[in-house]
Amino acid sequence: MSDAGRPQRATEAFFGRRKGKPLRGLQADTLKSGLSSLKIDLETPAPQDIAALFSVPVETIRLEIGFGGGEHLVHRAGEQPKTGFIGVEPFVNSMAKLLSRVRDLGLENIRVYEDDATQLLDWLPEACLDRIDLLYPDPWPKRKHWKRRFVSQVNLDRFHRVLKPGGLFCFASDIDTYVNWTLLHCRDHGGFAWQARNAADWLTPYAGWPGTRYEAKARREGRSSAYLTFRKAG
């Protein structure tokens, strides 16, 4: 297929694998039962107050896009029981792993979506999220694939629409070109103010940061990480 015919993020396409090793029986059962109870159904209208999505009272709402192994999402949900967490991950094996941890820990402040995050973003009502986390997203390192990166003007428009006034967009990566790409895109968008005042602000992990397996891999390979925080402006 030519580049002209390839789906773009603006058309809600997902790029990447959806499945890895076949799930074992217990994993498959956990995935099926967990999704049936925790999956957000986009076929129904979004509630104006999305706190209604959770079975326990929550005061703030955070969205994590591409939670990978789920280490960060599970840690934050246990740390902040009054926050409702929405996790998005199209990779089946990662979703099964997360749902197993949610079950074992008895976490009730997590909901999930197992498809393209842009679909969820378009479903959500305006100004409903306190924070969006995009942590170690696929960097698509080849220049010809940069257009597949999740940070784009159209997706920043989506972020800006669903974040509350003063809401945060947090981005972490160990890939310099993607860090610079995100800084430039947020600057050009005009709706996000970078919160760093000095180098330590973006070289220091977020408060309570548990680390991720992607971060550990980067450190083993000699790469440092950047932690960018943008506040919704305008």
Q: Which residues are catalytic?
A: 138
Q: How far apart are CA 124 and CA 50, in angstroms?
A: 8
* 202 within 8 A of 196, measured Cβ to Cβ: yes
Spatial CA neighbour of 113 closest among 104, 103, 126, 124: 124
* 34: its two tokens: 């967990």
List beta partners, residue 110: 85
* 127: its two tokens: 């100004």
One DSSP character per residue, 16-70 reads S-S--SPPPHHHHHHHHHHHHHHB--TTSPPPSSGGGGSSS--SEEEEEE--TTS
